[in-house]
Amino acid sequence: MRDYFNIKLPDDEVAAMSMLALAHIGDAVYELMVRTYLGCSGKATARGLHRAAVALVCAPAQARAAARIHPLLSDSEAALYRRGRNAKVNSVPKGADISEYHAATGLEALFGWLYLRGEHARLNELFAAIMEEDDDAS
């Protein structure tokens, strides 16, 4: 039985997945990390947690996060991000422009790719760099 919390797929299985499939998984990984971060930060009410999570996982915020970590990416991570960013999407949510949505999709694809490869330490490193600005504002 596969352990989906601690998954480590072979590189060929991950490479066979579409960018949108990686982004789909990465969206959940990123949101779980944000929710955990917020829950551990002391926000007490469900409403406060929800509002803070929505503010951090929306496409414009994810686009800013992608720009923040871009200088930290390895060549292979940057290439994967670009492929995710350039994936054809069928719709854009209100409150985001197309370039923000593409950048957010690239970030999600990167997080999905790292998660499926079992690179949890790297996920935590990149997430910490994203949240660093948020911590400084607190």
User: Nearest Cα to 31, choosing from 3, 12, 50, 5?
Assistant: 50
Given the residues 3, 11, 12, 27, the one annotated as active site: 27
- Token pair for 60: 């414009």
Contact assessment for residue 131 and residue 37, using Cβ atoms and an 8 Å cutoff? yes
Contact 113, 26 (CB under 8 A): yes
Cβ contact 59:101 at 8 Å: yes
| Residue 27 annotated among the catalytic residues of the structure | yes
Describe the chain by its helix, strand, coil percentages, rounded to 5: 75, 0, 25
Report, as residue numbers or ranges, the catalytic residues.
27
